[in-house]
Amino acid sequence: PVVEDDIDWWSKYYASKGELNKCGSYAQKGYETLTILSHPLELHEIYEGFSDFCRTFELSRGKTKFEEENEIVGEFKGLFKVYPLPEDPNEPLPHRTMENLPSNSLEECVVRVYIIRAIDLQPTDSNGKSDPYIEIELGKTTIDNRDERIPNTTNPVFGKMFELKTIIPTAKDLIIRVKDWDLLTSDDVIGQTTIDLENRFLSKYRATCGLPLQYNVTGPNQWRDSVRPRKILYDVCKRNNLPVPELLDEQTIKIGDYLFHLEDFEQEKHLTIHVGDDEERLALYILHKLRLCPEHVETRPLFNPIQPLIEQGRLELFIDIFPRSQGSPGPVFTITPRKPKPYILRCIIWNTSDVILQETSITGEQMSDIYVKGWMGGIEEEVQKTDVHYRSMDGEGNFNWRFVYEFSYLPAERCISVKKKEHFWSYDTTELTIPPVLNLQVWDNDKFSADDFLGALTLDLNRLYKPAKDPDFCTLDILDDESSNAVSLFEMKRVKGWWPCVNVEGGDPELTGKIELELEILTEEEARERPAGRGREEPNENPKLDPPQRPETSFLWFSSPFRTFKNIIWRKSKWYIIGALLLICFIIFLLLFLWAMPSAVWARLLRIPG
């Protein structure tokens, strides 16, 4: 089926589960959902285990000793009906309850097995996880996707379709195993489930291919069955001894004494541009009235033959069976797991304002040596830092510094995908999906002790707080979770303004500064067309970042003693320095004067006899 925009099979799956944050615009466009079953399909309350046509009886080998266990050697499929005979042999026999039986000849079929995901698998590795993959056995055919194992997880998303050919009933038992991949030893079976394809093929509930809620000839929900709804309706009526359907016009079908009108089913329905002919849509609505098997995903428990009574996890899947006698199968659903797309976040740190002052200068003034560092959540090893704005006396910092982060993003699920090894000796990486969060922190730089934390800002790129245009209006109210001003950077593409930095170490959030940022999100192709380097490195463009015009007092004091004296000590204490120099000069002059006086003068002054 054709996939449009952000719509794929997973959109339908998540919309059906009610996880609207992962289905993109699927629900808003009015597309139909499917049925999610928390149990095997045959255990649904209306399907009677698909034993409506025939029941399965296990055949056991006889025991020679009492303590021996029964050995199952085969199955017998059949159904017994007892009819009371009339006393008068000339009277007609009672009406048979089973007529129009399916053919008992061999039927070649194409079987498509769609494996969605596994849930809570029993871990088999020492790290408490597994490296699961799927193995399918049908008759003498065995296929697997061992090369596509999913490492280090107990909740793998497989998104894999397997297509097999079989002849029913010669090969009817479909065995699905979830196995754990091992590098040096044989692979372990985590659990398995067995599905009787013959029962589904013969059941009156038509469990061969689930019926969707709408008949679409194009789009993401294109009809995938080998026959159309009208033909299915005819076969079902014949099978169940119902009158043959009559098409009175394109929007009316008559079955016996019942008339079905298309308008009765579509009065409140939103029809998309992908729907098919009226008569086919009407036939499909009638089929749903007959409680046939709908389009679904079933959940099957997994059991290990060694511990047959202990569940080893669950497996979500659905199966399509297409008899060759009914024509070629329809198109395949693409259920491949969503692939993240590369994105680039550019964050320009322009300025800070009103940052708290943590240090005291040698002249007794309050100051901070401000710098900013940042990283994307889940990619902590990619921490980037600005240069240092030294000796900020009023909390103002000037940077003109660009952070650049590359990450993989899943637009439909609004998460970033991170792959990393849990340990340096790990053979495979583990994939995590987390929200796209930018973490920024403002620090005070110290040369001889640990740097002091001043404040932090955490921005969810999917729900970005609308910034203030001026630092005077930048308050903690911007970070209010209930604010209706939140926007998505992936939709806005570019945002610039002032955000508050907070410190919650004391319990309540405290405003400890303000930071002016420019955030821009780009695809990989857009980033190639408009290159930009980190910091102020080349290519320094889009936009070009010039070194900031910082005050003359902004420098590392012991790296330039003359500038320290000129811009710090002299500016602060020049009159004290001038007075001290004059005093020193006066004292020196006085001492020299006293030293140079003649001895006669000293004698007269001291009245020393001559």
DSSP code string of 125-148: STTS-B-EEEEEEETTEEEE-GGG
Q: What is the three-state SS of 222-234? A: CCCCCCCHHHHHH
Question: What distance in Å separates the CA atoms of residue 398 and residue 396, rounded to the nearest whole number?
Answer: 7
Tokens 């740097």 — which residue? 451
The pairing of strands 296-304 and 35-36 is: parallel
Fold of 341-558: Immunoglobulin-like (2.60.40)
H or E segment at 119? strand 107-119
The CATH H-level superfamily of 9-63+71-80+104-326 is C2 domain (2.60.40.150)
Asked if 224 contacts 320 with a C-beta cutoff of 8 angstroms, the reply is: yes
Angle between the 278-289 and 229-239 helix axes, to the nearest 10 degrees?
40
Residue of 515, 399, 407, 389 whose CA lies nearest to 457: 515
Residue-range domain boundaries for the chain: 9-63+71-80+104-326, 341-558, 561-606
Question: What distance in Å separates the CA atoms of residue 484 and residue 187, rounded to the nearest whole number?
Answer: 53
Question: What distance in Å separates the CA atoms of residue 78 and residue 430, rounded to the nearest whole number?
Answer: 50
Residue of 591, 522, 31 whose CA lies nearest to 273: 31
Spell out, as residue ranges, where the chain has pLDDT lower than 50: 1-3, 555, 557
Instruction: Check residue 82 and give its pLDDT.
Output: 79
Question: What distance in Å separates the CA atoms of residue 259 and residue 408, rounded to the nearest whole number?
Answer: 55
Question: What distance in Å separates the CA atoms of residue 417 and residue 394, rounded to the nearest whole number?
Answer: 41
Instruction: Check residue 429 and give its pLDDT.
Output: 82
Question: In degrees, to the nearest 5, what angle opens at C-alpha 45 toward C-alphas 39 and 47?
Answer: 95
Question: What distance in Å separates the CA atoms of residue 383 and residue 404, rounded to the nearest whole number?
Answer: 10
Instruction: Check residue 43 and give its pLDDT.
Output: 94
**Under DSSP, is residue 19 helix (H, G, I), strand (E, B) or coil?**
coil
Alpha carbon of 454 to those of 352, 499, 504, 518, 544: distances in Å? 12, 15, 10, 21, 29
Question: What distance in Å separates the CA atoms of residue 3 and residue 9, rounded to the nearest whole number?
Answer: 8
Q: Is the dihedral of CA 320, 324, 326, 328 positive or negative?
A: positive
Instruction: Check residue 2 and give its pLDDT.
Output: 39
Asked if 300 contacts 193 with a C-beta cutoff of 8 angstroms, the reply is: yes
By residue count, the chain amounts to 610
Task: Give the predicted TM-score (pTM) of the model.
Answer: 0.82
Q: What is the three-state SS of 151-189? A: CCECCCEEEEEEEEEEEECCCCEEEEEEEECCCCCCCEE
Q: Is the dihedral of CA 228, 233, 234, 238 positive or negative?
A: positive
Residue of 115, 8, 14, 112 whose CA lies nearest to 339: 8
Residue of 515, 496, 396 whose CA lies nearest to 455: 515
- pLDDT above 70 covers what percent of the chain? 89
User: DSSP class of residue 266?
Assistant: S
- Do 9-63+71-80+104-326 and 341-558 fold alike per CATH? yes
Question: What distance in Å separates the CA atoms of residue 323 and residue 405, rounded to the nearest whole number?
Answer: 52
Question: What distance in Å separates the CA atoms of residue 254 and residue 374, rounded to the nearest whole number?
Answer: 69
Asked if 135 contacts 181 with a C-beta cutoff of 8 angstroms, the reply is: no
Asked if 267 contacts 285 with a C-beta cutoff of 8 angstroms, the reply is: no
DSSP code string of 321-367: EEEGGG-S--PPP--PPPPPEEEEEEEEEEEEESPPP-EE-TTS-EE
Residue of 383, 384, 375, 378 whose CA lies nearest to 430: 378
Question: In degrees, to the nearest 5, what angle opens at C-alpha 496 toward C-alphas 492 and 500?
Answer: 115
pLDDT tens readout for residues 170-181: 999 999 999 999
